[in-house]
Structure 1
Amino acid sequence: MNHWPDVTVLDTIPSNDADIDTADRNCQRFRLRVPLMFGANPAQDAAALRFLVSAAERYVRVEWHLVGELPWPLHTVVHLPPPATADDAASDIARQWREQSGLALCTYRYGPDFVVLRDNRPGKDRFRGLLGADWVQPFRDLVARIAVDNRLLDELVAADLAIRLGDGEHVVLAVRLLRWPVPYFAV
């Protein structure tokens, strides 16, 4: 028996993880009433990408409408929840995104004194990386937007694991692996 509403309708993009957590506790799926158009406003792009990353971390589906083309290659965001619908200019991108998307394609997880990064997104080479103890806190700070270690951000951007959006905005695109997306015996 399901005690949660199937869909939580959002009029705006949640501004922080606490808002997403609150909404997430009460739903299985988000529906954004506002269409998303990327490339016009770095702050709005960052908020939208952070929302999609947070939804992907929680395995919560998002129904949203894409307007216009993406200002970056599709493989950069294909691991995030794809648009349910799109305008004519973005219909091919939305279709490809839905076809290529999947759970846990680009992730990171914390261990004791290390961070493991894994990237299996289609359209690029597979990547597995390990950040040692000296990089754990700078990585945490980068994800939380507390402080920016430009060397680390440059490396993550070069690997398409993060994106710079202008006006000092950045987003770590890799999704934190909070729980394994498949049963352990299926691996």
Structure 2
Amino acid sequence: MPSPSAERSRSAERTDAAWRAAGPEVELWLDQDPVARELPGFALGRRTLSGPAGAEVTALHRSGVRCLRLTEPVRLCADAPAASARALMLLREATGQGLAVLWRAVCTDGCAAQRRFHHLYPPEQLVGAPQDVLDDWHADYFPCKCVYRRGPGFVEVRDRRFGTLELFTIDEPDHLAQVDALAAGVEVGRLPDTVRRDFAEAGLIAEQAGRAWFLPMRVRRWPFPSLTV
């Protein structure tokens, strides 16, 4: 009879495999302008992005991609499946790289009105939420609305999702050690309790499909004017 530790190990392996297999399918273009996207040579077809979101988006940007479309609706709620969680992480990276993203959001528990995802490129549709939530998302969106950057021995988060600037400095070793893991998505059970609690209370992580992931995007270049960030 398998030991409890062996069962947990196999369960973790199945969870990891399901997470890796949930990479979103996207449609790609070399330009975000709707007219340009219809020109010969600008459409690059469909692709499933099964690798880490940061590496995938960086590779797309370097190859000239400037617009992508998520082919499946993305659920925003806490009970979202792995496919939606990975799609949102891809959205975070694409937004940080300055790509335009065409996508449809779904919300059935009211979470969209909490503005947790309003730093991401706005969706074309938001099913299950009042129209004014989507209108607000579009009206108030600007680049670098919730970003982080590294310094020597600390990470600084600048968050304007809720109107005024909220500034967080992460310098405690246990918290700092988890930033990279959270950026890639980490099993909730592997997070130290204090780290999970503090980041959740600050609104800096989402928990979906058994994973916790960092909501702020890594800043790559400051927008103009930089004081808006």
TM-score by length of 1: 0.79
Larger Rg: 2
Deviation at 1:112, TM superposition (A): 1.0
Q: Which consecutive residues of structure 1, in runs of 5 or more, have no partner in the other structure? A: none
Aligned to 1:53: 92
Instruction: Indicate yes or no: 2:202 matched with 1:177.
Output: no
Aligned counterparts of 2:87 and 2:219: Cα–Cα separation in 1: 20
How many corresponding residue pairs?
182
Aligned counterparts of 2:177 and 2:50: Cα–Cα separation in 1: 26
Aligned to 1:44: 83
CA RMSD of aligned residues (A): 2.9
- 8 Å CA contact retained: 1:11, 1:33: no
Q: 1:35 to 1:9 in 2, by over 3 A?
A: farther
Aligned to 2:105: 66
Structure 1 residues 145-173: Cα deviation after superposition (integer angstroms, max 9, x where no partner): 466333222211111111112x4211210
Aligned to 1:155: 198
- Which aligned pairs between 1:64-103 and structure 2 lie closer than 5 A? 64-69=103-108, 72=111, 73-87=113-127, 91-103=131-143
What amino acid is aligned across from residue 22 of structure 1 in structure 2? Answer: A
Structure 1 residues 57-80: Cα deviation after superposition (integer angstroms, max 9, x where no partner): 111110112244465244101001
Aligned counterparts of 1:180 and 1:68: Cα–Cα separation in 2: 31
Percentage of identical aligned residues? 26
TM-score by length of 2: 0.67
- 8 Å CA contact retained: 2:110, 2:129: no
- 8 Å CA contact retained: 1:64, 1:84: yes
| 1:76 aligned counterpart, secondary structure | coil
Deviation at 1:87, TM superposition (A): 4.5
